[in-house]
Amino acid sequence: MNTKTIARNTAWYGLENVIGFATSLITSIAIARTLGPSKMGYIIYVTWITGIASSLGSIGIPTTTRKYMAEFLGGGDRATARFIFFRTLAIQTLLATLATLIVTLWVLHDAPAEYRVAALLLVLSVWPAMVNYIPAQANVAAETLSANLPGSVASTVVYFVMTLLAIFLNWGVTGIAAAMLGMRLADFLVRAIPTLRRILAWESDNVHTPPDLRPRMMRFAFQSVVGMLLTLVVWDRSELFLLKHLTPDIRQLAFYSVAFNLAERLLIFPTVFASATSASIFAQFGRDRSKLPAMTSSSVRYLALISIPLHVIAVALAGPALLTLYGSKYSGAVVVATAAPLLCLPKAFLGPIQSLFESIDRQKFFLIPTVIASFVDVGVAWYLIPSLGALGACIGSGTAQATAVGLMWAIGISRHHIRLPWRFFAKVTAISTVAALAAYAVSARLLPVWGLIGGSTVAIITFFLLAYVFKILEPEDSSRFKVISAACPRALAGPMNHAFDLLTKRMEPDSTTA
């Protein structure tokens, strides 16, 4: 049951993210090429601050909505889940209104005149973004991630069109801010209204609220707030603030952001799978919590199969990719782009262990490692940025992420007896390294665009050839992947199943039954 649900949600969430991925990549490249690294540096800084304001709206109440709605829906109690949704929606709407009013007053008083309109548009976009987190997380809790797709598609189209208009009509920062407001309004209207209608149809009588529900929810919300504030340091590129104040070269902000953004695009694939898995982890807590450690262990195995090859091979192809997409003006970011894929890799393994801690109300096991990692981040970045610029910021971020994720998994293994497939990790890493070396041998001898194409082709062929020789999949892996292929058209399902069989170890015959 969990395999089919995860596969279905992976497909829907994957489609949602692929659409956003393609659009954001195109728009970011167009903006970067038009403005150049010097002007782009300021735009990135403003966008980062706006992103923090938006992220603050996702803490506390929305995560509480997801966790406790999923728990009661997993137990078959839709009435209580409905009650939780509307209670948290009311609280979030009030908080969003207060936050928007306070920040609006601050902008009207302190913002420079030339940026006041843009700042107001960005502030106004915070309200729909904050409120929209509640229906979005309600859909995740119900394990119906397909319901989030229409809003994402609508907002992506609006942002794409308005951003291109801002670029070609020279609307500057104000145009980009208007595009952000339009995107969030479209997402809110298309996502929230259908979700409200669907949840209103649920039964509203026989609401069962255990005596400890309110204190549990309040404690969880508080821990989520603290966790999010720490997350801003470790996971949301706080190094941009240090770069802005520790280096005189404004281009370093652009070099860091462009290179790190390119590497984080690789996280779309593990993030899609981890998000679909986390929805089932929360629901599994309401069904049978004893299976959570095994479910977490299985999910990290498939995350490794996806993310390790992508990130290791990307090291060899990052330079050609950067120059092909962004042009020679960003050649100063090549070293950063080369290091970023490996430094971003730990983040791919965050989702399952964080979801486990949240599902069992043990967020302190997320908070403590994040506190330690935040000091590591600031310390390393502060030390390295004056001499290394963007590369120092990248190293600081990667070191902090590795520290946080490593500590979380160490806690999970120790306290919940999660068994990780270390031999499998080593095999995938070795095969990926050989494929990366083959890709580099080709790409280093060609112009960037041809090096990217040729290196990618050689890497794919090398990886799958070695995966076939060393039989990278176990029989249970093949069975789970065939659940996905069963949902595909027959023309694809046959070749996919054949490929799975080629990569799967043969089960040794049992001598006792001979």
Task: Please spell the DSSP secondary structure of 242-302, one letter per residue.
Answer: HHHHH-S-THHHHHHHHHHHHHHGGGHHHHHHHHHHHHHHHHHHHHHGGGHHHHHHHHHHH
| pLDDT digit string, tens, across residues 251-310 | 888 888 888 878 877 877 766 655 555 555 555 555 556 666 777 777 788 888 888 999
pLDDT at 25 (0 to 100): 62
pLDDT at 513 (0 to 100): 44
Q: Is residue 470 part of a domain?
A: no
| pLDDT digit string, tens, across residues 394-419 | 899 899 889 999 999 999 888 888 88
d(CA 174, CA 445): 43
- Token output for 320: 């050609």
Q: Average per-residue pLDDT in the chain?
A: 78
pLDDT at 511 (0 to 100): 46
Of 6, 7, 5, nearest to 484 (Cα)?
7
The residues with which 411 forms a beta bridge, in sequence order, are: none
Kindly tell me if the per-residue pLDDT of 3 is higher than 50: no
pLDDT confidence bin for 2, thresholds 50/70/90: very low
Number of domains, the chain: 1
The whole domain housing 500 covers: 475-506
221, 64 Cβ separation under 8 angstroms? yes
| pLDDT digit string, tens, across residues 96-144 | 888 788 777 877 776 667 667 877 887 788 889 888 888 888 887 776 7
Residues 360, 362, 368: CA angle, nearest 5 degrees? 155
Report which listed range, 149-153, 371-375, 423-427, is most confident.
423-427
What number is the average pLDDT over the span 37-62? Answer: 61
Q: Is residue 233 part of a domain?
A: no
Q: Which residue has the higher pLDDT, 357 or 391?
A: 391
Q: Which residue has the higher pLDDT, 468 or 29?
A: 468
- 3-state SS, 103-150, equals HHHHHHHHCCHHHHHHHHHHHHCHHHHHHHHHHHHHHHHCCCHHHHHH
Prediction pTM value:
0.64
d(CA 466, CA 408): 32
Q: Is residue 223 part of a domain?
A: no
Least confident of 99-108, 130-139, 211-220, 241-250: 211-220
Report which listed range, 104-108, 277-281, 348-352, 444-448, is most confident.
444-448
Of 328, 377, 423, 358, nearest to 216 (Cα)?
358
Q: Is residue 411 part of a domain?
A: no
Q: Is residue 489 part of a domain?
A: yes
Q: Is residue 496 part of a domain?
A: yes
Q: Is residue 307 part of a domain?
A: no
Q: Is residue 491 part of a domain?
A: yes
pLDDT at 514 (0 to 100): 40
Kindly tell me if the per-residue pLDDT of 490 is higher than 90: no
Residues 428, 433, 439: CA angle, nearest 5 degrees? 125
| pLDDT digit string, tens, across residues 159-204 | 888 888 887 888 877 787 788 889 889 989 999 899 998 888 888 7
pLDDT confidence bin for 462, thresholds 50/70/90: very high
Kindly tell me if the per-residue pLDDT of 49 is higher than 80: no
pLDDT at 440 (0 to 100): 95
- Token output for 235: 């996971």
- Token output for 346: 């730990």
Name the burial class of residue 16, with classes exposed (0-12), middle (13-18) and buried (19+) by CB atoms within 10 angstroms of its CB: buried
Radius of gyration (C-alpha) of the chain in whole angstroms = 23
pLDDT confidence bin for 338, thresholds 50/70/90: very high
pLDDT confidence bin for 439, thresholds 50/70/90: very high
| Phi and psi at residue 129, to the nearest 5° | -65, -45
Q: Quote the percentage of the chain above a pLDDT of 70.
A: 72
